[in-house]
Structure 1
């Protein structure tokens, strides 16, 4: 499925043939996370983290209620995952979550992240979703600006304490 947005890149659905490329991007994303949070679980253990990321990636590709969108040009530029998240105890149960948004540093500020979010939101809307959540670290002002521009607003703070 070709979901072209601009001449310099196109948005596509990730399939099993792109697992290695997407996994590399997700690993890059997780390498940046300790910069922005207090590491409540300690430092990542690379061999276990890779297995966990690969499992999540495979599940998102294989399930009907999840999608991974990729932006590519002459290489893979970015990725975002979307999953349906039913909240049956609420009046608007058709919710969803966006996660693992990553755009290669040399490709940022070219509309790729916006295009990935827009495509994911479009797919979610077609699934009947009425709300979407995304998380970002409050100590990252670039992420704040980006997600606010995408129409998101913070509503919860999650804290951690070491015991």
Structure 2
């Protein structure tokens, strides 16, 4: 069995924001057909997301990672996460949270997403965390298989109802 390809993962910097937004937009293209109502974006969604990414890069609790292309002129993918607080009634109060993982279509199924998640898990462990939360759409079969491969198991089901 050969070793998986090596994909360097580094903390994102503000200059990566445009590439992250472009990669996120490919993720939104996947989610739109799943539920157009819940994933419908506002007209300036890319600008809003860019500002969100920049805030997370600067936040002490933010975890924003990129897998740069070999020429370092772009990114293969990114991960956006942070620290989350649970209610004081629970013994496990602080958890790592992975909000988005997106890999450019040209680099999918090459281990980039796995490298991003493993790097985030290392960062969460270094912060003393014992648990990490992620959400994905059950209709996104690629994501479902990926998160199972990464040994995440469903715990709660989030449901929506139109009023």
- Asked whether the two chains share a fold, i.e. TM above 0.5, the reply is yes
The more displaced of 131-140 and 88-97 is 88-97
1:53 aligned to 2:49?
yes
1:71 aligned to 2:67?
yes
Query: Aligned with 1:162: secondary structure?
Result: coil
Aligned equivalents of 2:13 and 2:5: distance in 1? Answer: 21
Is residue 70–residue 78 contact of structure 1 (8 Å, CA) maintained in 2?
yes
1:136 aligned to 2:136?
yes
In terms of fraction of residues, the more strand-rich structure is 1
Aligned equivalents of 2:158 and 2:87: distance in 1? Answer: 23
Aligned equivalents of 1:154 and 1:87: distance in 2? Answer: 17
Aligned equivalents of 1:57 and 1:40: distance in 2? Answer: 21
Aligned equivalents of 1:92 and 1:159: distance in 2? Answer: 24
2:28 corresponds, among 8, 27, 30, to 30
- Paired residue for 2:148? 148
Is residue 66–residue 116 contact of structure 2 (8 Å, CA) maintained in 1?
yes
Query: Aligned with 1:121: secondary structure?
Result: helix
1:161 aligned to 2:161?
yes
Q: Structure 1 length normalisation: TM-score? A: 0.87
Aligned equivalents of 1:110 and 1:71: distance in 2? Answer: 12
Query: Aligned with 1:69: secondary structure?
Result: strand
Q: By how many angstroms is 1:6 displaced?
A: 4.7
Q: By how many angstroms is 1:20 displaced?
A: 1.3
- Paired residue for 1:87? 86
Q: 5+ residue gaps in structure 1?
A: none
Q: By how many angstroms is 1:162 displaced?
A: 2.1
- Paired residue for 1:106? 106
Q: What is the aligned residue count?
A: 156
Aligned equivalents of 1:94 and 1:130: distance in 2? Answer: 9
